[in-house]
Amino acid sequence: MLIKPPADIPSSEITDKKVYLNRRQFIRTAAGTALAAGAGVIATEKLLGAQQPAPHGRKLVTKSSPLSTKETPNTWEHITTYNNFYELEPGAGNGPSRLAKSFKPAEPWTVSVEGECAKVGKINLEDILKGETLEDRIYRHRCVEAWSMVIPWVGFPLGNFINRCQPTSKAKFVEFTTLLDPRQFPGQRLPVLDWPYVEGLRMDEAMHPLTILGVGLYGEVLPSQDGAPLRTVVPWKYGFKGIKSIVKIRFVEKQPVSTWQKTAPNEYGFYSNVNPKVDHPRWTQARERRLPSIFQNRPTELFNGYGDQVASMYTGMDLKKNF
């Protein structure tokens, strides 16, 4: 278990949360608490502020972020029924949402922190979230398959968590691993990818304020098919760089090899920054369709339009070589 840093939530916010819940809902929650056998479930939900009923599941307490785009988000339905989550079913489509019930994130959800850091060990999701303020981060999402959406994520800066892990000077990259559990993930019974899914970020990318650990969508708890309960969101990179259902975070000195890189090294590089000038070998990345549009007519922006914030991390790098 990690030593918690001093709480950075002002006490006013905590009061706020109590005001947020009206009495009736408080009673309902209390009754639920009394009935529930698993204390872990309740603890996590409390931390997520998930007592509020929500249209699709469980509500989160969030605040808005200046880093959000003003663009109109895609609908909940589109974001939760059109997914690339090979662990549930390979291929983009409604497969993952149809099979979402087969994956119920364990309570408590445990993440193993490993490698070049002072705070090696296992940590529960509730402890990861302790002291963090959840923010709505409305980001453009550009899939490597040349489509895009606008997604109102809920999360907090990955950098906050990394700081708490106290990485050593040897930590140059962060490697993430998805849960390996073929009983819950039917896709993992197929030899389509080299399971479990692994992704990586350079330390400065992981520490960037835009990079978040996502736990929600539209102010609600993240549904299974979108990578519950904990995922990364890196908005200037292709969608597959956002790894879902994370169970391991490892600080390493050498650049990790991501799963897609391993599968097709000529098609998917380590960086995978959105770049209209670097084609996928099988299709152009110059344009995208903003779903649900059927026309491939929206010009793709370098770094998915986040160049002002992130381009400086890549100065002097050949982006064609380091695709």
Partner 1 sequence: MTSNQAIRWVLKPAVFLAALVPFGLLVRGLLAGNLGADPLKEITTGTGLWTLRFLCITLTVTPLRRLSKWNGAVRFRRMLGLFAFFYGTVHLLIFIVADRLAGLGFPPLAAWQTFRDLAASIGGEIYKRPYITVGFTAWVCMLALAATSTAGMIRWLGGKRWQRLHRLVYVAAIAGVVHYWWSVKADLRGPQTYAVAVGALLVFRIVWWARARASVPARRARRAAAS
For partner 1, the binding residues (CB under 8 A) are: 74, 77-79, 81-82, 86, 90-94, 145, 147, 149, 190, 192-193, 263-264, 281-284, 286-287, 289, 291-297
198, 257 contact by CB (below 8 A)? yes
For residue 297, the minimal CB distance to partner 1 (Å) is 4
Report the amino acid identity of residue 296. Q
For residue 209, the minimal CB distance to partner 1 (Å) is 29
For residue 226, the minimal CB distance to partner 1 (Å) is 13
Count of Cβ atoms closer than 10 Å to residue 257 Cβ: 15
Nearer to partner 1 among residue 67 and residue 92 (C-beta)? 92
For 294-297, which contacts have Cβ atoms below 8 Å and span 24 or more sequence positions?
A: 296/146
Write phi, then psi, for 112 (nearest 5 degrees).
Answer: -95, 125
Nearer to partner 1 among residue 41 and residue 192 (C-beta)? 192
Q: 152: exposed, middle or buried (C-beta count within 10 Å: 0-12, 13-18, 19+)?
A: buried
For 24, the token pair is 């009736």
Residue 112 to residue 1: CA distance in whole angstroms: 10
Q: Among 280, 210, 269, which residue's Cα sits nearest to residue 241?
A: 269
Which CA distances in Å does 220 have to 42, 50, 177, 207? 16, 8, 24, 25
For residue 70, the minimal CB distance to partner 1 (Å) is 21
For residue 230, the minimal CB distance to partner 1 (Å) is 24
Task: Annotate 33-58 with b (16+ C-beta within 10 A) or e (fewer).
Answer: eeeeeeeeebbbbebbbbbbeeeebb
Look up tokens 């974001």; give the residue: 79
Which CA distances in Å does 91 have to 55, 57, 84, 145, 249? 27, 25, 6, 11, 25
Contacts of 20 (CB under 8 A, 6+ apart): 49, 52, 61
For residue 95, the minimal CB distance to partner 1 (Å) is 10
200, 270 contact by CB (below 8 A)? yes
